[in-house]
Structure 1
Amino acid sequence: MKPEERLAQWLGESRNIVFFGGAGTSTESGIPDFRSAAGLYRQEEQLPYPPEVMLSRTFFMEHPDIFFAFYRSKMLHPAAEPNGCHRLLADLEKEGRLQAVVTQNIDGLHQKAGSSRVLELHGSVHRNYCMKCARFYSLEEVMAAEDTVPRCQHDGAIIKPDVVLYEEELNQETLYNSVEAISRADLLIIGGTSLTVQPAASLVTYFKGARTVLMNADPTPYDAKANLLITDPIGQVMERVAAILSAG
């Protein structure tokens, strides 16, 4: 049985699916990942500072102009569209099979595809708040700001994207809800993540079910624990799975 056929079978037999995803989920939508050969972290020689430095809280506070120049050019992809993975997960949620998407991504593509139960561990580029008065600003307003550093129209304070930077803690409620969803799942699909970024990567250890599917182009520390390993592009695989499900 082909891997996509096995996955389709397990999806059909499951009623409490959770998807745990990372940057590789969105690469087929045109958004670069971080650690692959073509990833963002391999472009350090082209950048004024290492990405890990520019994406830190300290750097954001000390050099907001450089931060936002990097953020706008490398982290924002407003034209990106959901791929086969995002679409199938949204369909599974509508059918009542998928209970949650736990994502390390900040691009909002799961919601754009139609998913509503999305737990965003690292925040979202679509939410932005004034650091003084907490007024909300959309991604479009941040991108349209005349200055390099977007500022609140009411008090002139910096508008900070609601994304988790290095040196910042993850939202505790989102962490709790993620642990709860994963621990109750009967099928866990891990997709497009190296499982090396903590504490997010440790969340998969809370899974108590019998079936784990791991979909990633490169090896991960969790490979030996997976019941099904798939290394083909995740969007293409999920499109084939969707076709199998619709034909069956």
Structure 2
Amino acid sequence: MDMEHLKRLVKASSRIVFFGGAGTSTESGIPDFRSHNGLFRTTAGTEHPPEEMLSRDFFRTYPDEFYRFYRDKMIHPQAKPNAGHLALAALEVEGRLTALVTQNIDGLHQLAGSRNVLELHGSVHRNACMDCRASYSLGEWLPLGDPVPRCTVCGGVIKPDVVLYQESLDDRVFQAAERAIADSDMLIVAGTSLSVYPAAGLIRYYKGDRMVLINKSPTPYDGYAQYALYDSFADVMSRLVN
């Protein structure tokens, strides 16, 4: 792949949208879900599969087990943005990146400096009491130490603002992502298997001829992209921007 050609395309674009998944954070030390070392494989054989433990029903029925798994596997407070996150933030500062659509819940894009971030699946950094709706940051409830974090105002159960299995995506966020992708003159897709719907279907809204797909392994949408790179997200993005 001619990286110089892709760099020229980036420079020639003024409405770039980025769409990313779990693979964008693996180089920050956060496991993805479906790769060889992903969460779904490393927890195989456990009493409850991850899809069940991360479901709405499981959260309501077994909140203590949900939070045990959630604390251990889904929260990575020490993770730092990698070179790819920083490159995207730089593109936004330049005025070339108009929106960043992510399936991740780790908040690393914001930590890198990105501002227009559309979080399809929510964020571990936003939490709220299910009864009185009092809000809590990750740093406010994580140190409480209780098996199930309770609201300090009313005693209700605190729920993370993340989309669990059996829950719907936020319509406003999803529609904003649709509009951004449809209006973009370049779409960069990275770190996603493009197998989780409805999020994966968003890329069909792109009608241009500058779609770049960066992933370690093939996806069902490789033929849809003009440029497919089986490479590191952080490496490719830093080379495209710097």
* TM-score after normalising by structure 2: 0.98
Looking at structure 2, the residues matched to 138 and 51 of structure 1 have their Cα atoms a distance apart, in angstroms, of: 24
What aligned pairs does 1:228-247 form with structure 2 within 5 A after superposition?
Answer: 228-243=227-242
CA distance in 1, matches of 2:148, 2:46: 19
Specify the alignment match of 2:72 in structure 1.
73
* 8 A Cα contact 1:3 1:228, kept in partner: no
Secondary structure of 2:27's partner? helix
Residue 216 of structure 1 aligns to which amino acid in structure 2? N
Q: Which amino acid aligns with 1:89?
A: L
1:183 is displaced (CA, Å) by 0.2
1: CA distance, partners of 2:172 / 2:80: 28
Amino acid at match of 2:57: T
Q: Does residue 145 in structure 1 map to residue 144 in structure 2?
A: yes
> What is the DSSP-based 3-state SS (H/G/I as helix, E as strand, rest coil) of the residue aligned with 1:58?
helix
CA distance in 2, matches of 1:166, 1:81: 27
Q: Following superposition of structure 1 onto structure 2, how do residues 196-215 of structure 1 map, counting pairs within 5 Å?
A: 196-215=195-214
1:88 alignment counterpart = 87
Rounded to whole Å, the distance in 2 between the matches of 1:8 and 1:182 is 20
Alignment of 1:1-248 (within 5 A): 2-45=1-44, 47-243=46-242
Which residue in 2 is equivalent to 1:246?
none
User: What is the distance in 2 between the residues matched to 1:138 and 1:242?
Assistant: 32
SS of corresponding position for 2:212? strand
Distance in 2 (CA, whole Å) between partners of 1:135 and 1:125 is 15
What's the secondary structure of 1:102's corresponding residue?
Answer: strand
Q: 1:46 to 1:143 in 2, by over 3 A?
A: farther
AA in 2 matched with 1:97 = R
1:152–1:158 CA contact under 8 A, matched in 2: yes
Query: 1:7: how far off?
Result: 2.3
Amino acid of the structure 2 residue aligned with 1:4: M
Give distance in 2, aligned partners of 1:26 and 1:165: 19
Please, what is the CA RMSD of the aligned residues?
1.0
Q: Which runs of at least 4 in structure 1 moved beyond 4 Å after TM superposition?
A: none
What displacement does 1:237 show? 1.5
**Any gaps of 5 or more consecutive residues in structure 2?**
none
From the superposition, tell whether residues 79 and 3 of structure 1 become closer, same or farther in structure 2 (CA, over 3 Å): farther
Counterpart-to-counterpart distance in 2, 1:47 and 1:132: 32
Query: Counterpart amino acid of 1:191?
Result: A
Q: Tell me the SS of whatever aligns to 1:210.
A: coil
